[in-house]
Amino acid sequence: MLQTETRDALLQELDAVNKWAEDQKGLWFWEKIGRIPFLILDRITPRMVHKKLGQALDEIGSYIQKGGSHLTSEKDVLKKFTKKSGSTSLTARDIAALPLFHMDEVSEELVGIRKKVAMTQGATTGIGGFLTLSIDIPFILGISLKTLQEIALCYGYDPNDQEERIFIIKCLQFVSSDIVGKQAILSELEDFDGSDTRKREQTLSQIQGWREVMISFRDNFGWKKLFQMIPIAGILFGSFINKSMIKDIGETGRMLYRKRRILAKLEEGRTSN
């Protein structure tokens, strides 16, 4: 039997998410000069590697526009919810009706798993300089997408819907934005599921700018990846950098999706009264 959360409890959770949003700061100074190291990397990186990076971005762009290859396993997520809820049969649609704390627990667990995978990848690619670095950058973009898709499922949203693909890209953009950019994105997503269709369509139309978002996301941690090229030390840098990146992605995704689900639950409670 599904538990019903009180309006007061949901409002407290909403306050916590809003506080998180207010606490978001601009980029650190060294984050702001992140593009400089990538200018250096661009000059010393062979054309073959550039081509490989471009192909990876195109593949991710294909997902954003059409869905498909980067979609996470819905069954794996459902298994975790089945175990948490004690239900014998559970569908993706059923997740939306589960208590918020189940969503929080499963999403946190999945982000933890992705952080470990990213750490291992970062340590491995930290050994081989810019040649393996060219593998790590598309990997971290891909795992970031996968993490956000899993979070979407955890809060009862279908990551294969075009609208959710847009929301996921906005989450990525939020992580790599300065304070002004963060405020603009929060404003755009304020009423994502609301009745203001014009504002929503304007946000959805921005899917055409996916490549700029991805390049910005990549450039944002350019200086960090430069340190990853240091022999031996690159193993430690790579592991820490990737873990930190997925941590930020996971926190942003969980908070923004939590807010949507809380608002949806509050609306359902209001209309049912």
Instruction: Tell me the per-residue pLDDT of 64-116, one tens digit each, with 9 for 90 and over.
Output: 666 655 566 788 888 889 888 777 778 778 899 899 999 999 999 999 999 99
For 227-267, how does the pLDDT look when each residue is reduced to its tens digit (9 = 90+)? 666 666 777 777 888 888 899 999 999 999 999 999 999 98
What is the per-residue pLDDT across 184-207, written as a single tens digit (0 to 9) for each? Answer: 888 888 767 766 666 556 655 555
Kindly tell me if the per-residue pLDDT of 172 is higher than 70.
yes
pLDDT number for residue 152 = 94
Mean model confidence pLDDT for the chain? 75
- How does pLDDT run across 17-47, given as a tens digit for each residue? 988 888 875 544 444 544 445 555 555 555 5
Greater confidence (243 vs 154) lies with: 154
Report the percent of the chain where pLDDT is more than 70.
59
Calpha distance 93→81 (Å, rounded): 12
119-124: average pLDDT:
82
Range with lowest mean pLDDT among 119-133, 151-165, 257-271: 119-133
| pLDDT value of residue 124 | 77
pLDDT at 147: 93
How far is the C-alpha of 259 from the C-alpha of 13, rounded, in Å? 8
142/226 Cα distance (integer angstroms): 20
Residue 1 has pLDDT above 50, yes or no: no
- Per-residue pLDDT at 250: 95
Q: State pTM to two decimals.
A: 0.82
Q: Which two tokens stand for residue 12?
A: 């407290």
